[in-house]
Amino acid sequence: MHLEQLIRERRTIRKFNGIPVSENLVMQLMLKAEQLCPYEGEARWRYVYAGTPEAREKLADYLSEKIMGNKMTKLALGKLVESFHKRFMEVPANVIAIAKTDPVPGKNAEAYGRLCRILQNFQLLAWEQQLGMVWKTEPAPVLQNEQFYNRIGLNEDERFVGLLQIGYFDKAPKGRTRTPAERRWTAMESSSFGNV
Amino acid sequence: MKLIDQVIVPLSELQIDHHRPVSQKLVLELLNHAVWAPNHMLREPWRFIYVDRGEVDKLEWFSHHPAAHLIIVIKNSSNPMKQNENIAAAFCLIQNFQLLANERELGVNICVHKWMSDRQACAKLGVSEKETIVAVLELAYGVKHQGGRQRKLPNSLNWSLLSEG
């Protein structure tokens, strides 16, 4: 029953308490996440970690830079961005997940899909350790823009898959019910081998 | 058992039991847990097509060995960023499904085929132009190959620190 419960009870966590997160633990869980997603050959993905106060400040700078670079938005949103910056900096651990791209569409989708599956394993494994996270994919000007990609060192043959903000938490939000699978279900069956 | 102690045995490492069907009831039961996957704005972009073995024989591009196939389809979004989020959500659901199936000793192969983008193949499965097939799951029961090749598990990560950049 444990696994079903784990999958159903995991929540996205956006508000963390101040308890520090060990980089070693994050790495161990990510390695287990990969092991739970068997693959052949080379890994076509990588991770960039920001956990020290210096690295977190740098990441917060990168995340606010694009908005602050524009004089108009700086005037209008300066205060707001400052509070964003502070919140970004307070996130105990950050993992940027990056996948290799490939001119062959199938290979491209394969690497992206596999990394997504690894990140889901990681979310579940972390939840088992009372560690919460949010998988961020916000559009520009915060995340998905060239300036940010340059800052984090994204190569030409790579794509940004997500920023995981990770930390311990005091309160988990309530879950929102899901649509039953039966309502999204089509069966193609032969009468000889149908509903068993 | 805790997830941290689990080991995944994919379908490719099983000797398939051809007499044991995989029922719709079980697949639906597992899916109703798997749909708790994270997805942006609770869009739940997915739907499912179950194909039993009798039907698979009529679809030439399917492998005929597994007991059943489960096709994961998403609704397309015209916004490429949303499309990627929807694909990511579907893969989280697929991973949930694999973990749950593994616990029931049901083997799963997660396949991304070339024909998935073929319009004719999609039409035959009732997949419209406004949808994308994300993956095809092959499902079957089996026992682990005796003396089979031991798969090497990854033992290191491609890991770097932001400050090094």
Give me the residue label for tokens 């105990």: A92
Q: Do A34 and B52 touch (CB under 8 A)?
A: no
Q: Which residues pair with A45 in a beta bridge?
A: A99
Give me the residue label for tokens 């994300």: B134
> Which DSSP letter does residue A115 get?
H
Give the fold, CATH level 3, of B21-143: NADH Oxidase (3.40.109)
Q: Is A105 on the interface with B (CB under 8 A)?
A: yes
Q: How much is the pLDDT for B149?
A: 67
| Residue A42: CATH number of its domain | 3.40.109.10
Q: What are phi and psi of A100, to 5 degrees?
A: -75, 140
Q: Do A137 and B88 touch (CB under 8 A)?
A: yes
- Taking the C-alpha atoms of residue A190 and residue B56, their distance in angstroms, rounded to an integer, is 9
Domain that holds residue A51: 16-171
Structure tokens at A185: 């279900």
The pLDDT tens digits of the residues spanning B116-138 come to 999 999 999 999 999 999 999 99
Residue type present at position B138: E
Task: Spell out, as residue ranges, where chain B has pLDDT lower than 50.
Answer: none
The residues in A 30-59 lying below 8 A from B, measured between CB atoms, are: 30-32, 34-39, 43, 45-50, 52, 54-55, 58-59
Instruction: Give every CB contact of residue A5 below 8 A, 6+ residues apart in sequence.
Output: none
pLDDT in tens, chain A (196 residues): 599 999 999 999 999 999 999 999 999 999 999 999 988 788 999 999 999 999 999 999 999 988 787 777 777 877 888 888 999 999 999 999 999 999 987 888 999 999 999 999 999 999 999 999 999 998 888 888 999 999 999 999 999 999 999 999 999 999 999 999 999 999 998 854 444 4
Q: How far is B142 from chain A (nearest CA, A)?
A: 18
> Which DSSP letter does residue B143 get?
E
CB A92 within 8 A of CB A26: no
A145: in domain: yes
A121: in domain: yes
Structure tokens at A32: 């287990």
Residue B106, Cβ density class (10 Å: 0-12 exposed, 13-18 middle, ≥19 buried): buried
The structural domains of chain B, with segments of one domain joined by +, span 21-143
A4: in domain: no
Structurally, chain A folds into a number of domains equal to 1
- Taking the C-alpha atoms of residue A142 and residue A95, their distance in angstroms, rounded to an integer, is 16
C-alpha A187, offset from chain centre: 33
Q: Is A156 on the interface with B (CB under 8 A)?
A: no
Among B156, B157, B160, most A C-beta atoms within 10 A, so best to mutate, is B157
Distance set, CA A67 to CA A76, A153, A161, B79 (Å): 10, 20, 21, 22
| B26 Ramachandran zone, left/alpha/beta (phi>0; psi -120 to 50) | alpha
Q: Which residues pair with A131 in a beta bridge?
A: A168
For residue A105, what is the nearest residue in chain B, using CA coordinates? B114
